[in-house]
A and B are shown apart, each in its own frame.
Chain A
Amino acid sequence: MRAVGQLQNLQGNHACAMGAIAAGCRFFAGYPITPSSEVAEKMSLELPRVDGIFIQMEDEIASMGAILGASMGGAKVMTATSGPGFSLKQENIGYAAGAEIPCVVVNVMRGGPSTGLPTRPAQGDIMQSRWGTHGDHAVIVLAPSSVKEVYEETIRAFRLTETLRVPVLIIYDEVIGHLVETVELPVAEAIESFSRKWATGAKEGFKPYAETDDMIPFMARPGDGYRAHTTGLTTSESGFPTQNPDEVERIVRRRLKKLDHHADAIESFEEIDCDDAEIVLVAIGICARAAGRAHQQARRKGLKVGLFRPITLWPFPEAAFRRAAKKAKHVIVPEMNAGQLILEIDRLIHGKNRPIGLNRIDGEVIEPATILQQIEALV
């Protein structure tokens, strides 16, 4: 029973696994953790059917290490985790960012800090997903808000990580992970193929981090004769460590600028009724669903309310948001944390009204009625 091209009921975490396999993921390493374990469980069932490899590692760090090892060997790879595991993976996410190793890391958000609320939803990792590993680094973070979107964004995550050589993190809250929705998955042929920029040219004098017009270096596949060196140390174009300030500056800048250069491919957002909106709601994950409902109800009451939903959370779609909030007198940011997304919104609308946070940190979701109440209080 191949589950594509037909209507079916799917859980968010299963949709993530199915999307990964549709995108060509053939190596998954994981470690059990609530509420993301269903991703690993689904992969353990599905991967052997498509000649893929599933391995349950001894810990979260090893899972992250194993997928990077497999990716450096040429496989499309993914791992999935939640809060504490996401913290443990950060060092190796930094390795992937520094050495430009394609990988997809899923974080199903639960309450924190520490063990926190393992079975309850939260959105407290918005900032960690951007800044979790140390040092200046580039990552892409996608934040789907429906089961269908988890499937689609997982495929897009692979497209981005493989073509750009940037680690792509997918974050969604426990509600989206365990939400069951009816979705129609596209047939496999409908998914546009993509591949990594493998080195194919001259082996003599090959530089694994040579600058190119698109800022994406060619990757050497072991066995192809390039015999490249890969390291977490800062390197010159040769791939070998350097402390030469000019070389260091160049490579660090290139890795950061790569995202700007490919902003069109990376950026993704949904904008509803923002043209005339006096109040703009900004939310991700399950909060975006509640905000969508509140927006509908408000419009029925004749209130000029719009919704801006970053699907690519980081880099944040700054220009698109500024356009969407141009006429807004108020921006409301409902989020299941003590105020993280709002920091970015505050930065972007600096000089105008301060955004209003609607926060919930008790392991429960924010309901549409709460958001509607806030809207009505402002008009």
Chain B
Amino acid sequence: MNNDSIGSFNIRDYLREDMFPHFLCPGCGHGIAMRALLWAIHELGIANDNLAIVSGIGCSGRIGAYVDANTFHVTHGRPLAFATGLALSRPDLNVIVITGDGDCLAIGGNHLIHACRRNLNMTCMMLNNEVYGMTGGQASPTTSPTRFTTTSPTGSIEPVFNACDLAAAAGASFVGREVTLQTPALKNLLRQAIAHDGFSFVEVISDCTEIFGRKNDLGDSPEMILSQKGSMRPEFYGNVVDQPFRPNPMKTGVFVDIDRPEYGSVYRDHVKNVQAQAST
């Protein structure tokens, strides 16, 4: 069985194979998210040369290095800031930011809301595994209450961010969420996000089996992924099912998809106007 290809998509066309074996733990969902991302890129026909991946610090930040493209692994929390400079000055590139729940919502939270507000053309894929995995399993802004981490050894007491609600409230013109188990759906979501003209935010519910899962007795990776799916409700179901059996399911799907002026083209029009006024 060849796991490398799906139709015309062969993941090896998009990987730096000499970088393998990769550093991700067994059972980590990040690799599935990366596959979905590269699959979407393939379907959109984006050339590796024109693909720019900007990532932050953490497990999510490291996966950019495996992609055979222009890859920038920048400082903690700042990939959206770096990507803003890159995307604004190089509109010919397809800029994709890969970030995590800590990188994006904690240290980088300010950049997230302003990137949403500005609506510069790029896609932000946030891998949410509820934990700082790279540093050994500390609590993040998405760690569910009562969960055990190395900095919440008696159970987390902090409220969480709903990243998609946050992005939508801040003005992101495309917002969606998917679980890694639904890989084709995740691919389709990312494909829509990348094709969208403006700032797109995609939250991927990933799993940290080795650290977060083990500490919270959540079972192995298949168990974790299945329970994630169980706690999600696709957007198109509306409110008709699963109440009151699952009172607080998170939604998956596309939550925002609106046309709003893209910042880069607004800026370029502005420059033209300024120059036209100066010459008259």
Partner-B contacts on A (CB < 8 A): 26-27, 29, 48-49, 51, 53, 55, 57-59, 61-75, 77, 91-92, 95, 220, 222-233, 240-241
Shortest CB-to-CB span from B67 to chain A, Å, is 9
Smallest CB-CB A-B distances: 4 pairs: A65-B81, A69-B85, A66-B85, A70-B85
Residues of A within 8 A of B65 (CB): 229, 231, 240-241
Residues of B within 8 A of A63 (CB): 81
Tell me the bound Cα distance from A40 to B118 in angstroms.
Answer: 19
Residues of A within 8 A of B88 (CB): 27, 53, 55, 66, 70
Residues of B within 8 A of A222 (CB): 52, 70, 86, 90, 93
Known: A68-B82, A222-B70, A229-B71. Is A53-B48 also a contact (CB below 8 A)?
Answer: no
Residues of A within 8 A of B278 (CB): 49
B81 interface neighbour in A26, A57, A72, A77, Cβ under 8 Å: A57
A69 interface neighbour in B49, B68, B83, B274, Cβ under 8 Å: B83
A58 interface neighbour in B68, B111, B275, Cβ under 8 Å: B111
Within 8 A of A (CB), among B45-84: 48-50, 52, 54, 64-65, 68-75, 78, 81-84
Q: Is B251 part of the contact surface with A, judged by Cβ < 8 Å?
A: no
B111 interface neighbour in A53, A62, A77, A223, Cβ under 8 Å: A62
Chain B residue nearest to A70 in the complex (CB): B85
B78 interface neighbour in A55, A74, A92, A227, Cβ under 8 Å: A92
Pairs A–B under 8 Å by Cβ, sample size 17: A27-B88, A27-B89, A62-B81, A65-B111, A66-B82, A66-B88, A69-B84, A69-B86, A70-B85, A73-B52, A91-B75, A92-B75, A222-B52, A227-B68, A229-B64, A229-B72, A231-B74
Shortest CB-to-CB span from A149 to chain B, Å, is 29
* Contact across chains for B78 and A75 when beta carbons are under 8 A apart: no
Chain A residue nearest to B53 in the complex (CB): A229
Q: Is B248 part of the contact surface with A, judged by Cβ < 8 Å?
A: no
Known: A66-B85, A229-B65, A229-B71. Is A73-B93 also a contact (CB below 8 A)?
Answer: yes
Residues of A within 8 A of B114 (CB): 57-58, 62
Within 8 A of A (CB), among B223-280: 267, 270-271, 274-275, 278
B274 interface neighbour in A48, A77, A91, A224, Cβ under 8 Å: A48
* Contact across chains for A225 and B78 when beta carbons are under 8 A apart: no
* Contact across chains for B72 and A230 when beta carbons are under 8 A apart: yes
Tell me the bound Cα distance from A230 to B83 in angstroms.
Answer: 13
A232 interface neighbour in B74, B87, B93, Cβ under 8 Å: B74
* Contact across chains for A72 and B72 when beta carbons are under 8 A apart: yes
A223 interface neighbour in B68, B72, B83, B90, Cβ under 8 Å: B90
Chain B residue nearest to A71 in the complex (CB): B85
Q: Is B217 part of the contact surface with A, judged by Cβ < 8 Å?
A: no
Tell me the bound Cα distance from A149 to B16 in angstroms.
Answer: 48
Shortest CB-to-CB span from A198 to chain B, Å, is 14
* Contact across chains for B84 and A62 when beta carbons are under 8 A apart: yes
Tell me the bound Cα distance from A91 to B89 in angstroms.
Answer: 22
* Contact across chains for B19 and A240 when beta carbons are under 8 A apart: yes
Known: A49-B275, A65-B78. Is A232-B90 also a contact (CB below 8 A)?
Answer: no
Tell me the bound Cα distance from A225 to B82 in angstroms.
Answer: 21
* Contact across chains for A65 and B271 when beta carbons are under 8 A apart: no
- Which residue among B81, B83, B84, B93 has the maximum number of chain A CB atoms within 10 Å of its CB? B81
* Contact across chains for A53 and B75 when beta carbons are under 8 A apart: no
Chain B residue nearest to A63 in the complex (CB): B81
Known: A229-B65, A240-B19. Is A58-B110 also a contact (CB below 8 A)?
Answer: yes
Chain B residue nearest to A73 in the complex (CB): B90
Known A48-B275, A67-B85, A91-B75; further 10 A-B contacts with Cβ < 8 A = A27-B88, A57-B81, A61-B78, A65-B84, A66-B81, A73-B52, A74-B90, A223-B90, A231-B72, A231-B74
